[in-house]
Amino acid sequence: MITIHSIEEMLMFYTSFGGIRKESVNGFSYIFPERQSSVRFWGELHGFSAANADFTYPQDTIVRTQFSQRYIGVGISEQGTVQTYTQKNQILHFREGVNCFVFDSPVPFFMKVPGGQCLRFQGLYFQEAFFTENNIPLYDSFWRDAKNTINGADLHAPELVSIYRRIEQCRLTGSAFDTWLKGLGFEAAGYLIGLVQHLSSLPPVYLDDSELQAAERAKKIIRADLKNTLSIPDICKKVGVNKNKLQMVFRLTEGKSVAEYIRTLRMEKALDLLEDNTLSINAVAAAVGYHGISNFYAVFQRTFGDTPAAIQKMIGTK
């Protein structure tokens, strides 16, 4: 299993497969001479970017991706099939056509690709920072609505296909291209926001600053000590909001309840500790706040579809 926590680690992943980085007009590429494969990028990978991939995995590969920032990826697939899942009983199959993936919470997701299969696709990627740094207003339930409407969907989106083609064919260079690409990112983002609103049957929800700040304080309290997490009522007292309000804000900002958020962080840390391979499974369970090993096993298997021992063995073969 290959673990990726950031864009930088994603680029290291290509290098580990023998990729040679080469600067190209308005971006850069990774060339894989032995496999006659390549991956090309345009734009700011931490903001709005585009990619064109023609890549063959040498062997069966499972990739665990766990970014800290929310993002939306739109893939225009020409060849190949991949499976993605956060739980094995909720597998999404991405095939030929326009597919969309919404990463709206810190829970890790897995991508499974058969060895020897050629993946040929183009993509548009919107990191959360692109919206915030460019003051693109998102209503507070946007990420929830996006997850419920376009995640895993086979989209009919000729507008997005056209935007990618324009990037690929653009003859501008340097700062002129950068400015033009940002404007195109605004256009694509506007289309996505409108599409999500159109497809969602729920009215947009807006939160005030005090509610958002209370939720951030709650998240900080939870992350500070996963081994001895406060009860939800005690967290509410510390941040000064009632339970129902805090649950609503968590569902809108993280896509899950407070208890689900805590379980997600515990499982995330458990994966990291299993990957470290210096602790026993009992010690891992205790380190993430489970005092009964059977309960830890049950939650872990429900989350990842396999036992801690099986996942530890899989991670060890990366």
Q: Quick: pLDDT tens for 268-297.
A: 888 888 887 788 999 999 999 998 899 999
Residue 316: pLDDT band with limits 50, 70, 90: low
DSSP string, 232-253: HHHHHHHHT--HHHHHHHHHHH
Residue 89: pLDDT band with limits 50, 70, 90: low
For residue 157, the model assigns a pLDDT of: 83
Ranges in the chain annotated CATH 1.10.10.60: 209-315
For residue 315, the model assigns a pLDDT of: 67
Phi, then psi, of 109 in degrees rounded to 5: -125, 160
Helix axis angle for 243-254 and 142-149, nearest 10°, is 60
pLDDT, one tens digit per residue, over 14-72 is: 998 889 999 988 999 999 987 788 999 999 999 999 999 998 888 888 888 878 788 99
Closest alpha carbon to 42 in 103, 125, 120: 125
Q: Indicate whether 258 pLDDT > 50.
A: yes
C-alpha to C-alpha distances, 80 to 53, 112, 126, nearest whole angstrom: 11, 12, 23
Ranges in the chain annotated CATH 2.60.120.10: 2-199
Residue with tokens 């939720």: 215
Note whether 214 and 201 are within 8 A (CB). Answer: no
Task: Give, rounded to a whole angstrom, the gap between the first and last alpha carbons of the chain.
Answer: 4
Using alpha carbons only, what angle is made at residue 149 by residues 65 and 168, rounded to the nearest 5 degrees? 65
pLDDT, one tens digit per residue, over 129-139 is: 999 999 998 88
| d(C-alpha 141, C-alpha 298), whole Å | 31
**DSSP H helical segments within 134-206, as ranges?**
142-149, 158-169, 174-199
Class at the top of the CATH hierarchy for domain 209-315: mainly alpha
Closest alpha carbon to 270 in 280, 284, 291: 284
Q: Indicate whether 308 pLDDT > 60.
A: yes
2-199: which CATH topology? Jelly Rolls (2.60.120)
DSSP E strand stretches across the chain: 2-4, 20-24, 27-32, 37-43, 48-56, 61-65, 71-79, 82-85, 92-94, 97-103, 109-113, 118-127, 154-155
Note whether 249 and 207 are within 8 A (CB). Answer: yes
Pairing of strands 82-85, 92-94: antiparallel
State the Cα torsion 176-178-179-180 to the nearest 10°.
Answer: 80
